[in-house]
Amino acid sequence: MSFLARFLPLIRQLSDYGRDELRGDVSAGLTVGVMLIPQGMAYALIAGLPPIYGLYASLVPLATYSLFGTSRQLAVGPVAMVSLLVAAAVGPLANGQPELYIGLALLLSLMVGVLQFGLGVARFGFLVNFLSHPVLSGFTSAAALIIGLSQLKHLLGIDLPRSNHIHEILWAAAGRIGQVDPLTVVLGGGSILLLVGLRRLSPSIPGALVAVATTTGLVWAFGLHEHGVDIVGSVPGGLPAPSLPPLGGETLWALAPSALAIGLVGFMESIAVAKVYAGRHRYEIDANQELIGLGLANIAGAFFSAYPTTGGFSRTAVNDEAGAKTTLAGLIAAGVIALALFLLTPLFYYLPQAVLAAIIMVAVSGLIEWREAVHLWTVDRKDLGLMVLTFVATLSLGIEEGILTGVIVSLVVVIYQSSTPHTAVMGRLPGTDTYRNLNRNPEALTRSDVVVVRMDANLYFATASSFQDLVRRVDTQDPSLRAVVVDMYPVNRIDSTGVGALKKVIDTCRRHGVEISLAGVKGPVKDRLDEAGVTDWLGRDRFFFEVSGAVEAAEADVAPTNSAPEGTVPDTRA
């Protein structure tokens, strides 16, 4: 692999490129480009930006990711979730100043890009694993409600204060119900019905574009903007000029938590959908290269008036359905956006804000994951509790606070589960040399003089106490007990604390005249025990490949007068 192909995955994708691939990429690029025009403008409203910035965010980031990303179907651009996070981060700092608001949004894009790029270069893609699926589902569902209700002002034609708390939005809307504009409601409600109907008729129909064209035509033909319908108005044409986002120490510090949240949430959303389509088309996704690709997309976009972007679920589905074979489809889609900026911006003048709100509401309605809640109720109610906690925290505390709560609780759960691993006292299945958990296999045979135990985890500082507790369950003061066999096969790693815990267990057993043997010790663990002197102290003859071998050796060591037939184990070890 050449140096250039290593850093530009598109070159590798084009190595066996043919006419069929080109046909699919052109079809997908044109389709996604057309879809991005109304969708990007709508998502810019969620971010609190003028609609044109949605098109800017659909141009340079998409083209950049197409060069550096490894997902052949992922369509990068503005998405509802990240747009909401941008609004939540920038709004309190802008103090109602539009120019400052825009500048902070572009700076946030730069910060998110640098963070993602740095994590990718450092190969820290695994960090996203700490954002569990229940947390993401709870956050996504709550954010979808906030996003949808934030568009009520455009759908009803009334002025509502910006808020990330749905009860405040609903209360304000109820207080202004008499100011609702009927024409705006008709346009918005009609657009929702049209979008839902076209989606059910055929997902390949660009419903958003049809709704935009239809309502814009109605506003222009009947002069509805003169009768209370809010329109987009003048939209600057041409490509965005390169510019430097405003930099400032205090601003950087204030935006840092939001940049971290957007960087991780954006990557999580992107990598999740990328893996789905990579599995479907049987190719590999490089998580670290994805971070680099998304990071460079956001960095480049920040210098060309783009706010933070990531891969979107709906656009990627359309991209795949339209035939995308490589990321060349993304370059073609970016070309469509560029042409729209050059030629079509005058047509957006009569575009009603209500149709953009309708596009957003229909798009985010699918993000409320009630089916996931039903599934977790059946499969894992602890995860359901985590999902509900994040959902409630996001609605009551705020966007960033909600996801932070979910992440913190997830880490607490991970730590708790790591420090309380599954343990078992084992018995031999009749007629075999296989040893299994007595609780799950009550028919397993045991001896009163030889006990077999197992801990299903690595032996390190977090599990050392659980390991010692497991052996304490074996009454080493029982006069009938002569040997303990520890099944070490599940242990892949042991640290100094684990070595210390093992020494204490060996010492405790020896003080009570009980021999201890280790079975199934893996090479790296054995190396650490050799280095710590445990192997020589315990005795090299106390290490066995299989549990059955260790038990047979222990039985041979037990004096005939102390031997006991296989049958039951004392209650203290059951």
pLDDT tens track for 477-500: 677 888 999 999 999 999 999 999
- Tokens coding 468: 């010692």
**Cβ–Cβ under 8 Å, residues 421 and 434:** no
pLDDT value of residue 67: 94
**pLDDT at site 531:** 94
Burial 274-307 (b: 16+ CB within 10 A, else e): bebbbeeeeeebbbbbbbbbbbbbbbbbbbbbbb
Query: Which is more confidently placed, 425 or 399?
Result: 425
Question: In the structure encoding, which two tokens stand for residue 324, read together?
Answer: 């995308």
Residue-wise pLDDT for 52-104, tens only, equals: 999 999 999 999 999 999 999 999 999 988 999 999 999 999 988 999 999 99
Please report which confidence band the pLDDT of residue 563 belongs to, taking 50, 70 and 90 as the band edges.
Answer: very low
Q: Between residues 296 and 508, which one has the greater pLDDT?
A: 296
Neighbours of 332 (CB within 10 A): 23
Say if residue 201 is exposed, middle or buried (CB neighbours under 10 Å; 0-12, 13-18, 19+).
exposed
200/210 Cα distance (integer angstroms):
14
For the sheet containing 515-519, what is the strand order?
435-437, 423-428, 450-455, 483-487, 515-519, 543-544
Helix (H) or strand (E) holding 313: helix 313-321
> Span 14-33, mean pLDDT?
89
Structure confidence at residue 2 as a pLDDT band (50, 70, 90): low
What is the average pLDDT across 151-176? 87
Q: Give the 3-state DSSP-derived string for 239-305, with helices as H, strands as E and coil as C.
A: CCCCCCCCCCHHHHHHHHHHHHHHHHHHHHHHHHHHHHHHHHHCCCCCHHHHHHHHHHHHHHHHCCC
- Please compute the mean of the pLDDT values over residues 544-562 and round it to a whole number: 78
CB count within 10 Å of CB 539 equals: 12
CA distance 555 to 573: 18
- Look up residue 57 and give its amino acid: A
Three-class DSSP labels, 178-222? HHCCHHHHHHHHHHHHHHHHHHHHCCCCCHHHHHHHHHHHHHHHH
Q: What's the CA gap between 76 and 119, in Å, rounded?
A: 19
Dihedral pair phi/psi, residue 472, rounded to 5°: -65, -25
- What is the Cα–Cα distance from 552 to 476, expressed in whole angstroms? 20
Instruction: For the chain, give the percent of residues with pLDDT over 70.
Output: 95
Task: Please compute the mean of the pLDDT values over residues 30-53 and round it to a whole number.
Answer: 90
The pLDDT score that the predictor gives to residue 141 is 87
Model confidence at 6, pLDDT cuts 50, 70, 90, reads confident
Of the pLDDT bands very low, low, confident and very high (cuts 50, 70, 90), residue 196 is very high
pLDDT at 559 > cutoff 70: no
Phi and psi (nearest 5°) for 55?
-70, -40
Q: How far apart are CA 400 and CA 352, in angstroms?
A: 31
At 403, the amino acid letter reads: I
- pLDDT given at position 558: 60
Contact 237, 341 (CB under 8 A): yes
Query: What is the structure's pLDDT at 3?
Result: 61
Per the CB < 8 A criterion, the answer to whether 521 and 484 are in contact is: no
What integer pLDDT is reported at residue 206 of this predicted model?
79
What was the pLDDT predicted at 569?
40
- For residue 574, what pLDDT band results from cuts at 50, 70 and 90? very low
Average pLDDT of span 321-325: 86
**Cα(464)–Cα(350) distance, rounded to whole angstroms?**
68
- pTM of the predicted model as reported, rounded to 2 decimal places: 0.76
The rounded radius of gyration (Å) of the Cα atoms in the chain is 31
Residue 568 pLDDT > 60, yes or no? no
Q: How far is CA 20 from the centre of its chain?
A: 33
pLDDT at 208: 84
Nearest-CA neighbor of 541 among 517, 563, 558, 562? 517
Instruction: Confirm if 547 and 487 have CB atoms less than 8 A apart.
Output: yes
pLDDT band of 564, cuts 50, 70, 90 = very low
Retrieve residue 119's tokens. Answer: 């994590």
Is the per-residue pLDDT at 390 higher than 70?
Answer: yes
Give the model confidence (pLDDT) of 145-157 as tens digits: 988 888 898 999 9
Cα dist from 397 to 89, 92, 139, 173, 255, whole Å? 14, 15, 12, 21, 18
- Can you spell out the DSSP letters for 33-69? HHHHHHHHHHHHHHTTS-THHHHHTTTHHHHHHHHH-
Of 360, 337, 333, 309, residue with least CA distance to 78: 309
pLDDT mean over 388-408: 85
Residue 131, phi then psi, degrees to nearest 5: -100, 90
- The answer, yes or no, to whether residue 368 has pLDDT greater than 70, is yes
Mind listing the pLDDT tens digit for each residue in 223-259?
A: 999 998 999 888 888 999 999 998 877 889 999 999 9
Mean pLDDT, all residues of the chain: 88
Distance CA 23, CA 32 (A): 14
Alpha-carbon gap, residue 423 to 254, rounded angstroms: 46
Amino acid identity of residue 105, one-letter, is A
The 10s digit of each residue's pLDDT in 207-223 is: 888 898 999 999 999 99
Contacts of 93 (CB under 8 A, 6+ apart): 100, 104, 251, 254, 255
